[in-house]
Amino acid sequence: MNRAAVLCGLGTALPPRTVANAELAGQLDTSDAWIRSRTGIGERRVVDPGTATSDLAVEAGERALKSAGATGSGGSGGADAVIVATTTPDRRCPATAPLVAARLGLGTAPAFDLAAVCTGFLYGLAAAAGLIAAGTAGRVLVVGADTFSTLLDPADRSTRAIFGDGAGAVVLRAGDPAEPGALGPLDLGSDGTGSELITVPSGGSRDPLPGPEHDPYFRMAGKAVFRSAVERMSGSARSVLDRTGWDAPDLLVAHQANLRILHAVADRLGIARDRCAVNIDRVGNTAAASLPLALADAAGSGSLRPGDRVLLTAFGGGLTWGACALAWPALEAL
């Protein structure tokens, strides 16, 4: 039998502290009006000192496992493999996923981190689907978790205006390709010739820290990234859409990078803007957490219902991008 990966649980975690645009405007040469009009962001969540990516990942993971257990989709709500997609691991070494697995009581389950920046969650879905298809795992927890606030230059208004912290997680189980929740066509891509456009210049083997000449902060060439994000997300989503046989999805859930990017992608695909999931106004760009947070927000608000045709797409550093389609399953996002 062809073992499909079926999404059966969804959980999220946001840090309690909200940072509104006005607070940033008090620290940087920016304004609420600029940030809202150029990005669609009104506020974002930011971790307090002492909270690490794994703390959010564990919280989201717990909720996803509980959500999967509550849907009665088989098993006790556990997982036998864990993938954590993140650009902000607790430490450069070791990976964050084994710690997350241990804190979730998942014993000696295989666990690894995945680095595809804002496309990390989609790459994680693909990796989990591969583990399931190969019979290596029956249930995989995929977490997208990032605390970009720990990586930003306090003086850089162009990145501080955009990024927020958060985590989202899903459980994928082995199942039938025809079931709601089964991952449908999937497309992934990368272009390393654009690796300088989204980068943390120092702190890796190319330019190890410490030293005053190093730059340990996240840097993004906004304009070039904007253009590439629109082109790659719409191209990838189009190739998936063509393979589904759908005229259009009921909901486009695109990486929440910038409201203008979301609208441009929807326009290029011929999808009405009101069929675009939007939570960027409240959470900003949460990198690897972006897609599961947007899915949970849409499910919670009733704009995503069981049976709805969902088109996911993301773009991020690397450069990386991807898209995936699925029919939304009956589950309670926690």
- Of the candidate residues 161, 271, 294, 325, the single one contacting ligand UT7 (CB under 6 A): 161
Among 66, 103, 157, 309, interactor with ligand UT7 by CB under 6 A: 157
For ligand UT7, which residue of 51, 150, 158, 239 counts as binding (CB under 6 A)?
Answer: 158
Counting contacts by CB under 6 A, is residue 261 touching ligand UT7?
Answer: yes
Residue number with CB closer to ligand UT7 (172 or 229): 229
List 3, 38, 66, 282, residue binding ligand UT7 (CB under 6 A): 38
Polymer length of the chain: 334
Rounded to a whole number of angstroms, the minimum distance from the CB of residue 1 to ligand UT7 is 38
Stretch that binds ligand UT7, among 32-40, 88-96, 177-185, 304-312 (CB under 6 A): 32-40
Q: How far apart are CA 88 and CA 92, in angstroms?
A: 9
35 binds ligand UT7 (CB under 6 A): yes
Judged by beta carbon, residue 283 or residue 331, the one nearer ligand UT7 is: 283
> Of 74 and 222, which has the nearer Cβ to ligand UT7?
222
**Which of the residues 8, 279, 285, 324 is marked catalytic?**
285
Q: How far apart are CA 148 and CA 217, in angstroms?
A: 10
Instruction: Return the residues of window 272-301 that contact ligand UT7 according to CB under 6 A.
Output: 285
Query: Which residues in the 91-120 window bind ligand UT7 by CB under 6 A?
Result: 118
121 vs 315, beta carbon nearer ligand UT7: 315
Q: Mark whether 118 is an active-site residue.
A: yes
Tell me which of 8, 255, 258, 279 is the catalytic residue. Answer: 255
Minimal distance, residue 322 CB to ligand UT7, in Å: 13
Q: For the window 201-240, what string marks contact with ligand UT7 as x by the rule CB under 6 A?
A: ---------------------xx-xx--x-----------
Shortest Cβ distance from residue 87 to ligand UT7 (Å)? 10
CB 100 within 8 A of CB 82: yes
Is residue 257 within the footprint of ligand UT7 (CB under 6 A)?
yes
Residues 312-331 binding ligand UT7 (CB under 6 A) are 315-316
Instruction: Find out whether 170 and 142 touch, Cβ atoms under 8 Å.
Output: yes
Torsion angle, alpha carbons of 21, 257, 219, 118, to 10: 130
Among all residues, which ones are annotated catalytic? 118, 255, 285
Interface positions with ligand UT7 (CB under 6 A): 30, 34-35, 38-39, 118, 157-158, 161-162, 222-223, 225-226, 229, 257-258, 261, 285, 315-316
